[in-house]
């Protein structure tokens, strides 16, 4: 993540000048090396969570391996083989960061086993990054 290379709090020198006592003009005195070290930059950290749920019939959500070809393959480029994005990946708007599926039937049905559900009994409930257009973020 290279947090040691980011500017982490600096003091600013502010000069205040008043011509007639009521109109105060302010300014910040900066030099190029302060800007190069990260003066005035802002880092925002957001926490995203996904719920892994178990239902009353014994079925549960599952996180599956991403599809590397076909429909939505470009949105799954940052996923590892476990279906979750690894730290340090650059994420863009509409990228999938957790490839989760939920069962379509969640109520108990007599005579069926929850472990014997076919793949068609699951629907995609993927976690998608909803950043602004053109914004890049790091996981």
User: Which CATH code for domain 62-138?
Assistant: 2.40.50.150
- Residue range 34-43: mean pLDDT, rounded: 77
- The first and second tokens of residue 33, run together, are 């090396």
pLDDT at position 105, please?
Answer: 84
Which residues lie closer than 8 Å to 133 by C-beta, 6 or more apart? 93
Confidence class of residue 82 from pLDDT cuts 50, 70 and 90? very high
- Residue range 86-109: mean pLDDT, rounded: 89
pLDDT at position 114, please?
Answer: 65
pLDDT at position 21, please?
Answer: 67
**Domain map of the chain by residue range?**
7-36, 62-138
Q: Quickly list DSSP for 12-53.
A: -EEEEEESSSS-EEEEEE--HHHHHTTTT-------------
Check pLDDT > 70 for residue 11: no
Confidence class of residue 69 from pLDDT cuts 50, 70 and 90? confident
Confidence class of residue 33 from pLDDT cuts 50, 70 and 90? confident
Q: pTM of the entire structure?
A: 0.67
Three-state DSSP at 75 gives helix
């Amino acid at each position: 993540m290279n947090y040691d290379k980011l500017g982490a709090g600096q003091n600013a020198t502010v000069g205040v000048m008043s011509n007639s006592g009521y109109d105060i003009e302010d300014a910040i005195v900066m030099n190029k090396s302060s800007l190069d070290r990260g003066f005035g930059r802002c880092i925002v950290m957001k926490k995203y969570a996904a719920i892994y749920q178990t239902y009353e019939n014994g079925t549960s959500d599952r996180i599956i391996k991403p599809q590397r070809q076909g429909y939505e393959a470009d949105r799954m480029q940052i996923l590892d083989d476990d279906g979750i994005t690894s730290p340090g990946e650059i994420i863009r708007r509409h990228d999938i960061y957790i490839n989760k599926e939920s069962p379509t039937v969640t109520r108990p049905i007599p005579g069926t086993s929850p472990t014997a559900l076919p793949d068609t009994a699951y629907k995609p409930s993927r976690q998608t990054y909803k950043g602004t257009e053109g914004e890049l973020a790091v996981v």
